[in-house]
Structure 1
Amino acid sequence: MGKTADMTTAQETIIDTLHRMGKPQKFIAKEAGCSQSAVSKHINGKSSGREKCGRRRCTSKRDDRGLQRILKQRRFKNLAEIQKEWTEAGVTASKTTTFRRIREMGYSCRVPRVKPLLNQSQRRKRLNWAKEKKDWTVGQWSKVLFSDESKVCLSFGNQGPRVWRKTGEEQNPSCLRSSVKYPQSVMIWGAMSSAGVGKLCFLKSKVTATVYQNVLEDFMIPSAEDLYGDADFIFQQDLAPAHTARSTKTWFDAHAITVLDWPANSPDLNPIENLWGILKRKMRGTRPNNKEELTASIKEMWASITPMQCHSLIASMPRRIKAVIKAKGFPTKY
């Protein structure tokens, strides 16, 4: 006589048919060619269904909702702190159970994205700026010469605390870690357009208004001539003090250079920020041992950036604008 697990589809069909006809199990077992107990298990299992085996769940749906509230309010707490706060609310659960419930909810412990801290006024200005520029085409953005300073390190430090978040919550304001500008290291100034990169400047001192105007004279103007020739262009810069100084504004007026209005703390709107990322990823395999080797590596990697890469970044500007509008001024994924 066959066991329930060994039943064929034909046997199960015979059992189901004869059972619906009201035949006794002994008769069904004989016709199906299996034991009466196998017939009984098949009929009872199919008609009533058996509950899942295993230990009973130790937390209720209400307990789980409480854990989810803790996670949303305490994004940067570690597992031990979350488990402690959950048990203090009257729930009996180990760290393993806590971790399992967190994973069931779709959360994972990740390194948070670092974004500038934006106050309400800055978010409002970013949103208004994006709405003003939402109809600009890629062709119009191609006339903009984007610029920025950046630092390149010999080594990278600790990534910092981790954050509990779900897939798709990378840009959620409660999941972001605020960054601090101007850390110590080699500082460089660069510019880019859809036609390629400009000349690179290594900054050896604090960027004052005078130093910045020298950078513009010696590096920005030659870059614009190389990338635009005699065509008109618009210059982009952030709102660093040296950039917005009265003497710097006078310098731009004297050279008849149009400067693009720019919202504060908005690196996600500047495609050159992504270019810095490309540069630094290219340098991961170089492993320079000192500042001289670092400088040489930067020059080599900067020269290897292609016009196609630059054009692709400039072409993302309309999408960046839409993302800022959708985020209502908050930081975006760019």
Structure 2
Amino acid sequence: MRATHFKKVGTGSNKRQEKLIVHIKNRWRTILQLIRSIGNMIGYKKSLSEWQCLSEVKMGRGSPIPPMLQRKIVEQYQKGVSQRKIAKSLKLSSSTVHNIIQRFRESGTISVRKGQGLKTILDAHDLQALRRHCITYRNATVMEITTWAQEYFQKTLSVNTIHRAIRCCRLKLYRSEKKPYLNMIQKHRRFLWAKAHLKWTVAKWKTVLWSDESKFGVLFGKLGRHVIRTKEDKDNPSCYQPASLMLWGCMSACGMGSLHIWKGTINAERYIQVLEQHMLPCRHCLFQGRPCIFQHDNARPHTASITTSWLRRRRIRVLKWPAWSPDLSPIENIWCITKRKMRQRRLKTVEQLEACIR
């Protein structure tokens, strides 16, 4: 009868697993020993000689001296050892040993005295004055505030110092708030208007006389119109747009019309005067008596009853316009180009702005 031999299954794989486990344990034991040595070195639990043996590398420039090493320096100094020998035995610089001993002579301890370090240029009283100035002149640039601070405090101040001081006053440079965005009803009305005028030809669009008012402001900063305020002063009236002028203008595919500078508030009576003095002559000059369509937005002076009746008596056809839709008018591109060129001139007063426009 043939003998049956049973082969052991998995003996080779078990040996490999055992070797792997032993290797992992050895590596883990080595890592634990390294962690203990680093912890002892950081915590200074071992003696000074052991600590020096563990860390043969010299400490870098500016590294703090361990308290145990400082006590060792003081002990050797009290025993009468010279500073040069102490520095040589502990592998430290002579200046470091001298500073520690000098501190021990003056205060009797090795701890650092309070109040050491770089003093602030602006104290609390100066920060209050700076905060009042920033709130009063919210549209001033940081460079202008720096110039004022140097003259007011009689100190040499940089732009970065004023930046940090403004942040210490809990102020920040924000962009001025603009008009709110469109809501769903206004978006739907814009869509219906675009759908109604979808089949207009180019020739018909050339018969439109575009008109609009635009505000030209002063005190432009490097990154646009900014205001210095706190986060809570978002709706403060002094944080709105700076001093400005309101202009009325018109244009068509035939050419440009005239400009009119508004002074004071705009109402329906004054708007009708502008239409009589500027719009009608421009209409006659551009279209030479041909029929045209007049366009203006839905501002209150434009939609007032006396304005609509005046347009009806003059038999002026008005293009219906959706609310909050200045981007649909091509005259906005003219305003944008004009403002970009005027922004480069850095106009600071309303008089300079008016002279530049004229």
- Quickly name the TM-score band, shorter chain normalised: 0.3 to 0.5
What TM-score results when the alignment is normalised by the length of structure 1? Answer: 0.47
What TM-score results when the alignment is normalised by the length of structure 2? Answer: 0.44
